[in-house]
Amino acid sequence: MDNYKKNILITGGAGFIGSHVVRLFVNKYPEYNIVNLDKLTYAGNLANLKDIEDKPNYTFVKADIADLDEMRRIVRGHAIDGIIHLAAESHVDRSIKDPFTFARTNVMGTLALLQAAKEYWDTLPDKYEGKLFYHISTDEVYGALELTHPEGVESPFTTVASSAEHHHAFGTEFFLETTKYQPHSPYSASKASSDHFVRAYHDTYGMPTLVTNCSNNYGPYQFPEKLIPLFINNIRHGKPLPVYGKGENVRDWLFVEDHARAIDLIFHKGKVADTYNIGGFNEWKNIDLIKVIIRTVDRLLGNPEGHSEKLITYVTDRAGHDLRYAIDSRKLQRELGWEPSLQFEEGIEKTVRWYLEHQDWMDHITSGAYERYYEEMYSGR
């Protein structure tokens, strides 16, 4: 540990976004010691990090963030200087069925981490100097926006070049860093609560904290209960594509590697106690997005165009389903110079190709074999 410039704890590092952040930091900063903490629930998979698991500046620790004593041991034992906190229960449907698990992990887990960091940093001669607790949140804490586009308008293909104009066909209102919190699901309520605790630790104790709120991520290694990998896999197997309501809900989509780049930039150059929104300047109506996925998968599988559209199945809408999310990330663009690197059609092509080329990964996940493996490995059997 003494040989490293910083000891960074990344929570949820075996998950979708977390694994991309861990990989980026391990490869880009050999002078940092990266500790990946993950509970390895259903959404955590160490196969996501096979390519870096033997790097000298990487350590994996299996632990539950809601276990305060364990968080104290890890933060102190690894002499942690910075925390990038991604570990969270994140699937809205699961939160509707089991809100208590979301409150425990997202609220009490964040609180345990904050307290462990505070207690350890308070013992140091320089206290909070060079320390940071960086909390990753979601755009869902802001509630929902009106959908005001004319009927029948297709999703705009917004290029990076035109993103500065921030022009969309779905409405003129966007989530800003100052937008009032109005969560509508148990998931977003739990994330809103954790955001408040992070800011409270800065305001009460002077702890250096940062919060970012991001839009929907997509890309490689995403757990296949989420829309894009689920639909790619279902098309591959000829299974139904379940669409909530009429597929009118609008989301802003962000390529996961662009999110990881933003996290890296904000961790190093963001202003303490500030909030940054991270979005893709890239709104799509669900049904239009699904049709793009179908066209791309069919083309890459050699199916006739439109072959899999018959798999679209409209299902009863989710309770409290927000109509539109749209992030305004111009503050991040203006202050730190970040913008998305990929146009959406490039990103979707790259993503679909990855899932089709990594069918073993997908089959391993959908079979549940990886969960049984970790249970045995970490139970001492």
* Residues noted as catalytic: 139-140, 187
**How far separated are the first and last CA of the chain, in Å rounded?**
30
Sign, Cα dihedral of 213, 216, 222, 223:
positive
Number of H helices, E strands in the chain: 13, 12
HSE-CB at 322 with a 13 A cutoff on CA atoms is: 22
C-alpha 13: how far from its chain's center?
A: 11
Report whether 12 contacts 88 (CB < 8 A): yes
- 3-state SS class at 32: strand
Compute how many other C-beta atoms are within 10 angstroms of the C-beta atom of residue 165: 9
- 3-state SS class at 246: coil
Q: Classify residue 364 as exposed, middle or buried by CB count within 10 Å of its CB (0-12, 13-18, 19+).
A: middle
What does each C-alpha distance from 197 to 177, 184, 315, 332 come to in angstroms?
A: 17, 19, 37, 23
DSSP codes, 265-276? HHHHHPPTT-EE
């202050």: which residue's tokens? 335
Sheet containing 6-11, strands listed edge to edge, beginning at the edge strand earlier in sequence: 58-62, 32-38, 6-11, 82-85, 132-138, 209-214, 275-278
Provide φ and ψ at 320, rounded to 5°: 65, 35
Encoded tokens for 300: 């890459």
Beta strands 250-255 and 283-285 are: antiparallel
Encoded tokens for 1: 């540990």
Compute how many other C-beta atoms are within 10 angstroms of the C-beta atom of residue 33: 24
Encoded tokens for 208: 């250096």
